[in-house]
Structure 1
Amino acid sequence: MSPFLQQCLSNLVGLGTLDSLMCGTEAPISASRMLGEVSRLLKPGGTYMLITYGDPNVRMVHLNKPAYNWKILLYIIPRPGFERREGCSSSPRSYLEPVPTTDDGLLPEKFVLEDPDSHYIYVCKKRDDTGLSKAPNYALRADLL
């Protein structure tokens, strides 16, 4: 297998595939099949990145299955041109840092979602048993967005 193909298989990006499957009549089965195949293709340390409008209450049910063996980081990016409301009580945060989530991968109860039309980016890193899963996770960089 070529090095390029190996790199592609170790890092996968989902742009709309899961969202399309979630519109079908057998959405949970289709999503499970697709994500199971993604997990199978990823080698330990590989990354699957899902970019979607699906919030954690809807997506984490599918992504957070123990069989996939993923460490999941969540980023929330507001739509282009979004401006915080004046007098908003939530403290501004960097969109380049992962959002803290509960043990179930959901947003904390007191989390304030400023823009309901945000994009959610789920970075799912395949764990392994050799200590790679303990490797540090780095924040996104502005030059990557």
Structure 2
Amino acid sequence: ASHCANHSQSPHWTPPALPTPRIRNPPRSNEFPLPCRPAGARGHHRPSIEASARPRPDPSGGMTGAASQAYGEAWYWDERYRKEPGPFDWYQKYPALAPLLRLYVRPHQRLLLVGCGNSVFGENMVQDGYQDVVNIDISSVVIEQMKKKYHDKPQLKYTKMDVRNMSDFESGSFDAVIDKGTLDSIMCGQNSQEHAAKMLGEVNRILNDKGVYIMITYGDPSYRLNLLKDLQFWTVKLHVIDRWERSSKKTWDLTEPLPLQDDSTSIINLLGPKPDVHYIYVCIKENDSARVDLKAEVNEADK
């Protein structure tokens, strides 16, 4: 099965309805920290295990400090999941993202959740009709926890694997890869640019032609777009979602892509200098060419 950016226009498939997500409460004091927040970012977090080595922001999008430098190491996450075994979803939960995912990923397609942790995201996708959800994480501790938890759900598969080396997967074997914070964690550590390039190269390899990589991140286009453009095998579309569910008018329609420009001025003009959103980069694999989508139509009513 192939991917295209206009699945929602297909007359042959109607996705199942989900209940409207409830308004989310502010994060609890015992929730994991968002990795490597840039300076000035809002939101609560708990101290990391290495409290005396709290990460510090870095202009490149990474951070300094022993805790952040360990974000790419299995031992760090093993320790975290031993101490924090309860389920947790980084950034966004499935019901909030479901309308966007339905545009790009069909229920019968094979998809990969990278850095799955102990999230219930995959479980929610199966409940919504997705049939083949593969989950990987660098932590053997959390993978064993999740295997036991979902031993009776054949649609969910769990494998210990480093996203920078997914050699156990054949090339072109997935239709979609979903990333909620994994690239962000890599950008917190040492040699972040090198490791990010390895991860994105592997994502490209395992995706089939027209396969889609969906990255949910705090990283605005001035940081993340350069990483994606350097690899030159994507058509990139940008969506945004408010960090917390609110009753007032939303910043932007989740399913409507924003126009992109190389200098990110279009995003600043539309959303302001410090929008309280998560950015969602939808990267469609193109074997013959690559481009950043600069022609996405703007819904004037949503400005």
TM-score under structure 1 length normalisation: 0.69
Counterpart mapping for 1:59-74 below 5 A: 59-65=224-230, 67-74=231-238
Root-mean-square deviation (CA, aligned residues, Å) is 3.0
SS at match of 1:14: strand
Counterpart mapping for 1:1-145 below 5 A: 7-8=110-111, 9-65=174-230, 67-82=231-246, 93-102=252-261, 104=262, 106-108=264-266, 110-113=269-272, 116-129=275-288
Distance 2:264 2:235 in 1: 13
Offset from partner CA, 1:36-75 (integer Å, 9 cap, x none): 111111111100000011111111111112x441001000
Aligned sequence identity (%): 38
CA shift at 1:80, angstroms? 2.1
The one-letter code sitting in structure 2 at the alignment partner of 1:19 is D
Distance 1:83 1:54 in 2: 25
- Runs (4+) of structure 1 exceeding 4 A deviation are 82-85
Q: Tell me if the contact between 1:75 and 1:96 (Cα under 8 Å) persists in the aligned partners.
A: yes
Structure 2 gaps, min length 5: 1-106, 112-173, 290-295, 297-303
Distance 1:79 1:15 in 2: 13
Q: Tell me if the contact between 2:178 and 2:214 (Cα under 8 Å) persists in the aligned partners.
A: yes
CA shift at 1:15, angstroms? 1.5
Distance 1:26 1:38 in 2: 19
Q: Tell me if the contact between 1:74 and 1:120 (Cα under 8 Å) persists in the aligned partners.
A: yes
Aligned to 2:78: none
CA shift at 1:115, angstroms? 6.0
Distance 2:273 2:222 in 1: 16
Aligned to 2:43: none
CA shift at 1:12, angstroms? 0.5
SS at match of 1:64: helix
Q: If you compute each CA radius of gyration, which structure gives the higher value, 1 or 2?
A: 2
SS at match of 2:193: helix
Higher relative contact order (CA 8 A, sep 6+): 1
Aligned to 1:133: none
CA shift at 1:117, angstroms? 2.6
Q: Tell me if the contact between 1:72 and 1:125 (Cα under 8 Å) persists in the aligned partners.
A: yes
Count how many residue pairs are aligned between Structure 1 and Structure 2: 120
TM-score under structure 2 length normalisation: 0.35
